[in-house]
Structure 1
Amino acid sequence: MKKIGLAAICLLLFVHKNFAQDMPLQGNLKELFAGPTHLADYENWLNRMKHWRSEERKKLEYTDTEYLRPELSWVKTAFIYAQVMAHDRYLYDPVAGSYTVDRYLNDVKNRYGGLDAVMVWPTYPNMGIDDRNQYDLVAAMPGGLEGVRQMVQDFKKRGVRVFFPIMFWDTGTRPIAQAMPEALVAEMKTIGADGLNGDTMLGVTENFKNAYDSLGYPVALQPENNISDLKMVAWNHLSWGYFWNYAYKPGVSIYKWMEPRHQVHVTNRWAVNKTDDLQYAFFNGVGYNTWENIWGIWNQIPDRYAAIIKRMVAIYRAFPQVWSSSSWTPFFPTVQEGIFATAFPASQLTVYTLVNRDSLNKFGKQLILPYQKGMSYYDLWNGSKLTPYKKGNKVLLGFPIVGNGFGAVLSIPSRNVNDSIRAVLTQLQILSKISINSLSASSLPLSQHLIDIPKTASKKQVPEGMVLIPAVKGYNFESKGIMIEGDELPESVGIQHPWEKHPARSQKHVMDIDSFYMDQFPVTNRQFKEFMDSSHYQPKDTINFLSDWKNESFPDGWEEKPVTWVSLEDARAYAAWAGKRLPHEWEWQYTAQNHEVMDMTGKVWQWTDEYQDEHTRAAILKGGSSYVAKGSKWYFPQVHDLNEYGKYLLMSPGIDRAGTIGFRCVADR
C-alpha cells in the first residue's frame, strides 16, 4: 500500500554490487534495467545483460524448482490480474445475500477482455476498527469459510486464479498461537485459493514457502513492493511492477530478466493515464493489474486503455508459450526513432512487441529481420498480413504505429498458420476497426447517493431517555474524512453529500436543521435485549451477531454498556421497533457540538448515514472508540474532532459488525 524509498535503496545497492556501474536502473523502486544508450552499443549491452544473469544465478546458487511445480505452472500465463475489494457490489449482492462472481467477471470481460487472476481484498481499510485480525475478516465474509471457498471455486470454474493478501503489518490485533505463514497458508488451503500477495512486503519471505511445503499446498507468492534480495526470486513467483518515474526508453524488468517465468503485474492504482504502464508491460511481455476499486474509491479504466488491454490480452493468450522464453530479447533493433521492440521467440515462431514512445504517428518500415524462406509475417496489433520487402539477406516490414501506441508482429512458417491463429487474427482485425485514439481517456468519479432515512412519527413529548435538540438555521456543517489514502483522486475520495456534485474528503455547507430528539446515551445491552425479547429479531446473517453475548444475553454487569457487534441493519431494526431512526451525520455532529448528551465520543463508534455508488456501500461512523490497534499506521484511524468521520466499507452484516461500533437513535418532533 505504501511507497518505500528504503526498498529502492536496498535493491539499488544489491544490484550494483554485481552489475557494471554504467548500467543504470530505472523506475520508482529501481526494478528495471535501463536499455542501451544508443544502437551502436546494443550488442555490447545485450552481452553484458546475459553475463550478469549468468553470474548472478551462479552467485545465488539459483534453482528454478518452484517454477517447475506443476501446481504453479499457471503463473507464467496469469497476464491480467485485478485487485478487487470483497465489498464490491459487482462481486457480492447484499440484497440477495450471495456472491455474484459471474456478474463481476462478465463486466471486466466485456470492458477489457477479462482476467486470468484476481486478488480478493477483505481487510484494509476497515481492519483495526476492532481487534479482529486478517484471518477473522476472511472467516467473517458471507457464508463463512465455506462461503468463501465456494466463491473461490466460482472464479476457478471461469479459469481465474484467486489470491488473498498477507497483511504482514497486522501485529496489533487479536494474536493467534500459530505463526503467520502457517496460519495463512492453512486458510488458503481451506478455501482453495491459489496465491498470496504480501502487502508492503519487500519480497515474500522464505518461511511462507516453508509453510506451503510443510502443509503440502503450494501457493503462488507475490510481494507488493520490490524484491529486495534477488535470491527471493526463486520462490516469489510473481511481483507487482511499481515502474513509475518512467523514462522515454522503457526499462527491462530485473526479475523477468533473471527468471523469464517470473510474472510481473505492472501496477499504478491512482493513475488515470495508463499509457506508460501498459507500454512498459507490453515491452517486457508481462502482465497488468487492472485495479479499479481502490479501498472503495472507483478509478475506472478509461475506454481508450480498456481497448488497448483487450488487444494485449488477445495477443498474450494466443501465444502463451513465447512470453516466458529464455531467449527473449529486449531492445530488438528497430528502424524508426522512438519505436522500441522486444523479440519473444519460441519453437517455429517469434512474436515482436513494439511501443511508440513518441507522440507522433510512425509510418513505413519498422523492423528488419533475417530472411527465411517460407515465412509469413502478420501485423498482430491490427490483425492483417504483412508484405515483406526482401533486401539481400534481410526482410523489411512496414506498418503504422500511432503516437504513444502499440504494435505487434508475428513471424511464422507459412505451413504453421492454423485455424487458431487465423481466428485470433480475425479477432484482432475486428478490434482494430475502433480507433483507440477516438476513445475517451478520462475516468469520471462515480456519483454517490445517500440512503434515505424515513422520518419517524412526530412526538410531542420528550420520549424517555431522550433529549430535545432545538432547530437551528444557518448551521455551519463541516465534514472531514480521516481515510488514510485517496487524495490522488480528490473528486472520488470520501463521500458525496446530497448537495455536492461529486465525492470529496472534506466539505462545508450552511444548512437548516429541524428540531428532533436524540438518545441521551448510546443504546445499551439491556435495551437491545428488550428489543430481542419483544420482537424475536433474528438476522439472516448471524456471523458475529452479538458475539460478546452468551446464551442470548449479555455478561453480568454489562446492562448499561453500549451494545456492540450489531450491524447497520441490526441498528435500523432496533430503531424501527422503538419508533425511532438513526441520525444523519449532521444531526449527530450538531448535537455533539452544541448540546448535552452523553458518551458521544471515545467509547464506541456510532452508525449514522449510508452512501452507495455503483460499486461500493459505505457507512459514516462518528465519535471514535476507546480501542486503538497498535503497531501499524495502516489500521483504521481514530477521529480527534467532532467534525471528523470514518468511512467504513460495507459488505454484509457479518463482516460489518464490530466490537467497537454501536449506535444511538433519534426521533422527529
Structure 2
Amino acid sequence: MRNKYYLLLMLFFGCKGYAQQPAFSGALKETFKGPASAGQRAQWLEDLKAWRDKQKADIHYNDQLYNNWALKWINHTFIYVQMMAHDRFFYDPLTRKYTVDRYLADLKKRYGGIDAVLIWPTYPNIGVDNRNQFDLTADMPGGQEAVKQMIKNFKARGVHVFFPIMIWDHGTRRIQIPMAEALVKEMKQLGADGMNGDTMTGVSEDFYQYARDESYPLAWQPEMFISNYKMLEWNRLSWGYFWGYEQMPGVSVYKWIEPRHQVNITNRWAVDKTPDLQWAFFNGIGYNSWENVWSVWNQIPERYEEAIRRISAIYHAFPDIWSSKDWEPFVPVLQKNIYATKFPSKGKTVYNFINRNTIAISGRLISLPYHKGDVYYDLWNGHRLKPEIKDGNAVLSLDMEGLGYGSILATGASLTPAEQAFLTKMAVMSKRKLKSYSAEWKPIPQQMVAIAKTRIPLKAPEGMIRIPAADNYEFESVGVMIEGNELPTAVGVQHPWESHPSRSQKHQMKVPSFYIDKYPVTNKQFKKFVDATKYHPADDHNFLHDWVKGTYAAGTEDMPVTWVSLEDARAYAKWAGKRLPHEWEWQYAAQGTDGRKYPWGNENLKDNYPPADTARIMRKPTAVDAYPSGASPFGVIDIVGNVWQWTDEYTDLHSRTAIVKGSSYFHAQTSGWYFPPALEVNKYGKYLLMAPSLDRARTIGFRCVMDAE
C-alpha cells in the first residue's frame, strides 16, 4: 500500500515475463490496451484470446479452486472496503461494544452497502513496541471471543471479513512457526473469510497450502499486481491499481485470464472517483470504497457515492453474469468516446457502457443482431427499450450523462419478479442525474479534546520545574506519518487555530507559565496512585502488563511506567492534582525559545539519551535519571529517546488519535513501514486510538503538568 514500494517493484520486475503479451496500460501493468481502431478490434480480440490460451497452457493452469462452491461468494464481492479497526462507527469505547450495525448502516445509507470488509488493526501503529500482527489482533477490545462475535455479526448481514497479512513484519516479536501457518490458524479460529497480502505481489503458495481444507477454504487477495500468473489459481481476488488512466479504458489482465477472478479497483487517495468507477464498470469488476486511510478520512463525495449505489445495484441484480467466460470488451458502438463490454450468459446478455466524454450523448448507441422475441431493457434508467429493427439488427438508443454510465439487458426470456423490482428501483434512482450531486471534497474537521486547568499551587510542587511564560513562542511541529501527502489538507491534526487538519504547524503563540514533571512518571509513583485509589480500569487488558501480582519488578522502580493508556495517564494526573501537557507545552519545555531540534541543542548527541534497541525481544526502558546530560534548557530530563509521552488527543467523526512526543528507545528493523521515530522535539507521532486494550504500549509513558498562573 505504499507508492514508493510500487516503483521499486516495477524497477525490479520491469517487463520480465511479459515479452509475448499485448500492449499494457495502467501504472502496474494490470490492464491491456484496447484496439487501436474499430477496424482492428476483431483481430485484437483474437490475439487476446490466443495469448490467454497460451498463458494457461504454459503454466498448466488448474481452476479447481474456482469450482469450490464454498468460495462462490467471492464472485459477488463487488463493493469491498478496507477500514480501520479504530473507526468510531465500528467500535464504541464508552460501551466497550463493536457497533457493526452502525458501521454498515452508514455505508448502506451513503452508497448502498458493501459485500466484504478488510479489518485493519495493525499498520500504522505496529512497531511502536515489539507487538507483532498477531498480538495487535489479540489486543483488540474484548479479545478473541469478542472479535469472533463481531465477525459473526458481519457475516450474519451478508458481509465477508478479511484481515491483513503483514508479510514484512519481521522486526517485532518472533513467532515459533511459519507466518503462513500461524495466520491460517488465527483466521480459522476467528471465523474470518480471507486475508489481504499487504505489499504482496501475489499471496504465496504456502498460505494456500496451509489452508487447503476444502470444508473451510480461505480467500487470498494480494494487494499488488500478481507477479506470476500461476498464482491466479489460489489468489481468487486482487486489488486493481489501474492508475495512469487514459481516454480509452484498459482491460483487466487477471479477469481476462480467469473471468471468475474478482478484482476490486483501489485508489485510496483519489478525490475524483470517476476513472476508477468507469474502468470498474467497463470490466465488470468491483471497487474498494476505502475512506478511513490510517485515520485520515477521505470521504467519497456524494456524486460518486450515488454512482457506486447504482453500479452496485446492477451488479447485484445479475450477480453471476460478470464472471462470464465469454465476456468481450470493446464491443463496437455507434458513438465516439463511448466504450462497451459484453457479458453473455444463458438466455441473457448485459452490455455495460461508459461515456468518456464530459458532455452528454443521446440517440443511437449500439446495433445488435436481432432474433425474434428479443427484448431490451435500459438497466441504468430502469425501463424497457424500443429497438429500431433494421437489416436484421436491433439498433438501440440510450441517453448518457457526461462521464456517465449505461447498461442494457438483451434477453429472450421474461423478467423475474426480482428483476422487475430492480428496474423499478433504478427508474426511481435515475430520475436525478449524477451531475446534480455534489462532487466537492472537504477535509473532515477535528477537535482537540479539552484539558481542564489545574489548581494553582502556592509553591513549586515537589519534583516539578516551573516553565516561564512565553509571549511569542514560535511553535513549529511536523508529523512523521509515513503516508498521506496526497491529501495535504487532511493528514495530521487540526490545532484550535487551524481551519483544517495538516501535517505541519507553525504558529506564534502565548504560553502561560506552568510546572512540568522533571522526569516521566515512574513505576514507583504510579504504584502509589494505584494503592491509594485502588484504580483498576474497566478495560484492563495489557494494563501494567509487565507488572507481576500488582507491582513492578525489583530494580524497575525508577523506570518510566508504561503499558498505561491515555485514560490511565489522565486518571493518575487527576489524582495528583495535575494534567497531561498540551503538545506545545511539552515542546516548549523540551526546546526552550531558540527553536533547537534536541533538548540540548541542534546536534544529535547520542550520549544524551538511551541507545536504540533493535532486537525483537525488546529490553526495558532505562531509569528516568540515567541521562542528565540530555536535559532541556529548563532542566527537564528524560524527555526524548526513552519512552514516548502522551500529550493531546484529537477526535473527528470517525477517528481518535493522540499526539505522542519524545520517541522511544525501540526501533523495529527490517521494514520502513513501522511506527517511525520522532526524536527531534519539533516532530510528533500520530498514534491511532481504539480502546485501552490496544492503545497501551510498552514504549508509551507520560509526564504531568500543573498550571502556574
TM-score, scaled relative to structure 2: 0.93
What is the CA–CA distance in structure 2 between the aligned matches of 1:317 and 1:135, rounded to whole Å? 35
User: Structure 2: which amino acid aligns with 1:522?
Assistant: P
User: Structure 1: which amino acid aligns with 2:586?
Assistant: W
What is the CA–CA distance in structure 2 between the aligned matches of 1:71 and 1:551, rounded to whole Å? 47
Asked whether 1:451 is paired with 2:449, we answer yes
Deviation of 1:218 (Å): 1.5
Equivalent pair of 2:646/2:701 in contact (CA under 8 Å): yes
Equivalent pair of 1:185/1:217 in contact (CA under 8 Å): no
What is the CA–CA distance in structure 2 between the aligned matches of 1:8 and 1:597, rounded to whole Å? 48
The residue number in structure 2 matching 1:275 is: 274
User: Structure 2: which amino acid aligns with 1:276?
Assistant: P
Asked whether 1:644 is paired with 2:683, we answer yes
Equivalent pair of 2:544/2:563 in contact (CA under 8 Å): yes
Q: How many residues align?
A: 665
SS at match of 2:477: strand
Equivalent pair of 2:648/2:659 in contact (CA under 8 Å): yes
Counting only pairs closer than 5 Å after superposition, residues 273-422 of structure 1 correspond to structure 2 as 273-413=272-412, 415-422=413-420
User: Structure 1: which amino acid aligns with 2:446?
Assistant: Q
Equivalent pair of 1:186/1:215 in contact (CA under 8 Å): no
Counting only pairs closer than 5 Å after superposition, residues 26-41 of structure 1 correspond to structure 2 as 26-41=25-40
Equivalent pair of 2:640/2:679 in contact (CA under 8 Å): no
SS at match of 2:663: coil
The residue number in structure 2 matching 1:479 is: 477
Asked whether 1:535 is paired with 2:574, we answer no
Residue deviations 1:127-181 (CA, integer Å, cap 9, x gap): 0000000000000001011111111111101100000000111110000101110
Equivalent pair of 2:70/2:215 in contact (CA under 8 Å): no
Deviation of 1:215 (Å): 9.8
What is the CA–CA distance in structure 2 between the aligned matches of 1:455 and 1:269, rounded to whole Å? 40
Q: Identify which range, 435-444 or 127-136, moves more after superposition.
A: 435-444
User: Structure 1: which amino acid aligns with 2:462?
Assistant: E
SS at match of 1:416: coil
> Aligned to 1:564, which of 562, 565, 579?
562
Asked whether 1:48 is paired with 2:58, we answer no
Equivalent pair of 1:10/1:228 in contact (CA under 8 Å): no
Deviation of 1:443 (Å): 1.5
SS at match of 1:323: helix
User: Structure 1: which amino acid aligns with 2:97?
Assistant: S
User: Structure 1: which amino acid aligns with 2:441?
Assistant: S
Equivalent pair of 1:7/1:29 in contact (CA under 8 Å): no
Q: Identify which range, 326-335 or 3-12, moves more after superposition.
A: 3-12
Residue deviations 1:246-296 (CA, integer Å, cap 9, x gap): 111111111000001100000000000011000100000000000000000
Equivalent pair of 1:457/1:668 in contact (CA under 8 Å): yes
The residue number in structure 2 matching 1:470 is: 468
Deviation of 1:18 (Å): 3.2
Equivalent pair of 1:8/1:30 in contact (CA under 8 Å): no
Equivalent pair of 2:75/2:320 in contact (CA under 8 Å): no
Deviation of 1:434 (Å): 1.5
Q: Identify which range, 5-14 or 535-544, moves more after superposition.
A: 5-14
Asked whether 1:653 is paired with 2:689, we answer no
SS at match of 1:310: helix
What is the CA–CA distance in structure 1 between the aligned matches of 2:475 and 2:689, rounded to whole Å? 25
What is the CA–CA distance in structure 2 between the aligned matches of 1:510 and 1:52, rounded to whole Å? 64
Equivalent pair of 2:645/2:662 in contact (CA under 8 Å): yes
What is the CA–CA distance in structure 2 between the aligned matches of 1:511 and 1:46, rounded to whole Å? 66
Equivalent pair of 2:569/2:702 in contact (CA under 8 Å): yes
Deviation of 1:10 (Å): 6.5
Equivalent pair of 2:31/2:252 in contact (CA under 8 Å): yes
User: Structure 1: which amino acid aligns with 2:554?
Assistant: D
* C-alpha distance 84-144 of structure 1, shift in aligned 2 (>3 A): same
Residue deviations 1:503-560 (CA, integer Å, cap 9, x gap): 1000111111111111110000001111111100111111111111111111110000
User: Structure 1: which amino acid aligns with 2:159?
Assistant: V
Deviation of 1:192 (Å): 0.5
The residue number in structure 2 matching 1:259 is: 258
Equivalent pair of 1:7/1:226 in contact (CA under 8 Å): no
User: Structure 2: which amino acid aligns with 1:175?
Assistant: R
> Aligned to 2:511, which of 506, 510, 513?
513
Asked whether 1:624 is paired with 2:655, we answer no
The residue number in structure 1 matching 2:613 is: none
The residue number in structure 2 matching 1:490 is: 488
User: Structure 2: which amino acid aligns with 1:138?
Assistant: T
Counting only pairs closer than 5 Å after superposition, residues 587-606 of structure 1 correspond to structure 2 as 587-594=585-592, 595-606=634-645
What is the CA–CA distance in structure 1 between the aligned matches of 2:216 and 2:472, rounded to whole Å? 63
The residue number in structure 2 matching 1:58 is: 57
What is the CA–CA distance in structure 1 between the aligned matches of 2:564 and 2:148, rounded to whole Å? 25
Residue deviations 1:615-664 (CA, integer Å, cap 9, x gap): 00000000000000001000000013111100000000000000000000
Asked whether 1:212 is paired with 2:211, we answer yes
Moved over 2 A (4+): 5-19, 214-217
Equivalent pair of 2:202/2:222 in contact (CA under 8 Å): yes
The residue number in structure 1 matching 2:705 is: 666
Equivalent pair of 1:11/1:30 in contact (CA under 8 Å): no
What is the CA–CA distance in structure 2 between the aligned matches of 1:66 and 1:643, rounded to whole Å? 53
Unmatched tracts of structure 1, length 5 or more: none
Of all paired residues, the percent bearing the same amino acid is: 54
Asked whether 1:18 is paired with 2:57, we answer no
* C-alpha distance 15-276 of structure 1, shift in aligned 2 (>3 A): farther
Asked whether 1:580 is paired with 2:619, we answer no
* C-alpha distance 36-94 of structure 1, shift in aligned 2 (>3 A): same
Residue deviations 1:173-218 (CA, integer Å, cap 9, x gap): 0001011101111111111000100000011100000111269642
SS at match of 2:588: helix
SS at match of 1:16: coil
What is the CA–CA distance in structure 1 between the aligned matches of 2:398 and 2:362, rounded to whole Å? 6
Residue deviations 1:286-336 (CA, integer Å, cap 9, x gap): 000000000000111111101111000000000011000100011111110
What is the CA–CA distance in structure 1 between the aligned matches of 2:486 and 2:561, rounded to whole Å? 37
The residue number in structure 1 matching 2:110 is: 111
Equivalent pair of 1:7/1:225 in contact (CA under 8 Å): no
* C-alpha distance 86-70 of structure 1, shift in aligned 2 (>3 A): same
User: Structure 2: which amino acid aligns with 1:16?
Assistant: Y
SS at match of 2:572: helix
What is the CA–CA distance in structure 1 between the aligned matches of 2:394 and 2:14, rounded to whole Å? 40
What is the CA–CA distance in structure 2 between the aligned matches of 1:10 and 1:128, rounded to whole Å? 27
What is the CA–CA distance in structure 1 between the aligned matches of 2:115 and 2:206, rounded to whole Å? 27
Deviation of 1:417 (Å): 1.4
What is the CA–CA distance in structure 1 between the aligned matches of 2:117 and 2:441, rounded to whole Å? 22
Residue deviations 1:356-397 (CA, integer Å, cap 9, x gap): 111121110111100011111111111111110000110100
What is the CA–CA distance in structure 2 between the aligned matches of 1:262 and 1:16, rounded to whole Å? 20
What is the CA–CA distance in structure 2 between the aligned matches of 1:9 and 1:202, rounded to whole Å? 14
What is the CA–CA distance in structure 1 between the aligned matches of 2:213 and 2:127, rounded to whole Å? 30
The residue number in structure 1 matching 2:86 is: 87
SS at match of 1:599: coil
Deviation of 1:12 (Å): 6.0
Equivalent pair of 1:29/1:243 in contact (CA under 8 Å): yes
The residue number in structure 2 matching 1:500 is: 498
TM-score, scaled relative to structure 1: 0.98
User: Structure 2: which amino acid aligns with 1:2?
Assistant: R
Deviation of 1:14 (Å): 4.2
User: Structure 1: which amino acid aligns with 2:60?
Assistant: E
The residue number in structure 1 matching 2:630 is: none
The residue number in structure 2 matching 1:229 is: 228
